[in-house]
Amino acid sequence: MKNTIKIITSAAALLIAASLLCGCGIFRKTDEALIKAGLECAGVMREAVLNETYRKLTSAQVDGEILQTVTDMDVSRAAAVYELKFDPEELIRSQLNDSSGEYDQLPEALKKKMINSMYSSVPALVNSQTGFGAVSFMSMFTGSADVERNGPKEVRSLVFVFESGYPVYAVFYPGQNGRATCTGFWLMIDSQSITSPETLLGQLMITGDQIEAVRLK
How far is 185 from 44, CA to CA, in rounded Å? Answer: 11
- 134-171 pLDDT tens trace: 777 888 899 999 999 888 999 999 999 999 999 999 99
User: CB count, 10 Å around CB of 20?
Assistant: 9
User: Domain residue spans in the chain?
Assistant: 21-215
Q: State the pTM of this model.
A: 0.81
Most confident of 30-34, 48-52, 148-152, 203-207: 48-52
For 77-96, b/e burial (b = at least 16 CB within 10 A) is: ebbbbbbbebebeebbbeee
Let me know: does 213 contact 150? Beta carbons within 8 Å.
Answer: no
Task: Read off the amino acid at residue 144.
Answer: S
